[in-house]
């Protein structure tokens, strides 16, 4: 398990998550309605958006113009993923009790730097702290390896000098 965690930390250093940088849309923004919208407006917005975002959207036609819905606005999300977000938003907002609970949680979460995430600053600080410890650990290991190589090289030279002095004849006269 520890090996998996350390591999996950290494991967996280190289592939930084963008969850702190991108503001997640709330359910009202997904449906394109104001927060004080009545139930019938929520239903109308869901039906209109579901025609645009449904994975089989080519089967649906605009009633006003008789033309197919413009699909040029798709970005990185798939139709299925966008439609599932729309369905989740509608499921929460269509019932008054779940909507009231969502509104109270939404106020709390958006008061934290405008992100729909509890304590994003603490998570960011914890991730930066872990990254800092990881980088310091890598530097320490690198320095230990370099020190070991230098020490082995020093011992090898010392042994070589000792060998040369043992086998070297003494120069000069020995006076007794």
Q: Are residues 67 and 149 in the same domain?
A: no
Residues 26, 113, single domain; the answer is: yes
Residue 16, pLDDT score: 45
Spatial distance between the Cα atoms of 104 and 96, rounded to a whole number of angstroms: 12
Instruction: Give the residue, 25 or 43, on which the prediction is more confident.
Output: 43
Whether residues 51 and 100 share a domain: the answer is yes
Looking at the structure, tell me whether residues 158 and 114 fall in a common domain.
Answer: no
**pLDDT confidence of residue 23:** 60
pLDDT in tens, 152-163: 999 999 888 887
pLDDT higher for 55 or 169?
A: 55
Same domain, residue pair 37 and 96: yes
Residue 59 lies in a domain: yes
- Tell me the average pLDDT across 35-51: 90
Average pLDDT in the chain: 74
Compare 66 and 39 and report the one with higher pLDDT. Answer: 39
Q: How is residue 147 written in tokens?
A: 């020190």
Q: Which residue has better confidence, 62 or 125?
A: 125
Q: Write down the pLDDT at residue 124.
A: 73
Is 37 in the same domain as 106? Answer: yes
Q: Indicate whether 28 and 85 sit together in one domain.
A: yes
d(CA 89, CA 29): 9
Q: Domain with 37 in it: what CATH number?
A: 1.10.287.110
Within this chain, do residues 130 and 151 fall inside the same structural domain, yes or no?
Answer: yes
Answer whether residue 134 is part of any domain: yes
Domain holding 132, by residue range, is 123-169
Share of residues in the chain with pLDDT > 90 (%): 18
Q: Are residues 100 and 159 in the same domain?
A: no
Question: Are both 158 and 108 inside the same structural domain?
Answer: no
Q: What is the pTM of this model?
A: 0.44
pLDDT digits (tens, 9 = 90+) for 52-109: 877 776 554 545 555 554 554 444 467 788 888 889 989 989 988 888 888 888 776 6
Total number of domains in the chain? 2
- DSSP for the chain reads -HHHHHHHHHHHHHS---TTTSPPP-HHHHHT--TT--HHHHHHHHHHHHHHH-TTGGG-B-TTT-SBPP-TT--SS-HHHHHHHHHHHHHHHSSHHHHHHHHHHHHHHHTTTT-SSSSHHHHHHHHHHHHHHHHHHHHHHHHHHHHHHHHHHHHHHHHHHHHHHHHSPPPSPPP-
In a domain, residue 69? The reply is yes
Band of pLDDT at residue 13, cut at 50, 70 and 90: very low
């Amino acid at each position: 398990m520890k090996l998996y965690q350390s591999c996950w930390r290494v991967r996280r250093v190289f592939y930084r998550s963008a969850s702190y940088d991108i503001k997640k849309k709330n359910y009202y923004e997904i449906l394109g309605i104001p927060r004080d919208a009545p139930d019938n407006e929520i239903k109308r917005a869901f039906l209109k958006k579901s025609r645009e975002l449904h994975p089989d959207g080519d089967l649906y036609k605009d009633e006003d113009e008789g033309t197919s819905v413009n699909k040029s606005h798709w970005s990185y999300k798939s139709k299925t993923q966008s439609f599932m977000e729309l369905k989740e938003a509608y499921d929460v907002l269509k019932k008054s009790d779940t909507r009231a609970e969502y509104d109270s949680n939404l106020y709390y979460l958006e008061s934290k730097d405008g992100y729909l995430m509890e304590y994003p600053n603490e998570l960011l600080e914890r991730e930066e702290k872990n990254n800092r410890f990881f980088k310091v650990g890598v530097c320490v290991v690198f320095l230990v390896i370099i020190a070991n190589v230098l020490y082995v090289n020093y011992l090898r030279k010392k042994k070589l000098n000792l060998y040369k002095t043992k086998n070297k004849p003494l120069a000069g006269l020995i006076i007794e």
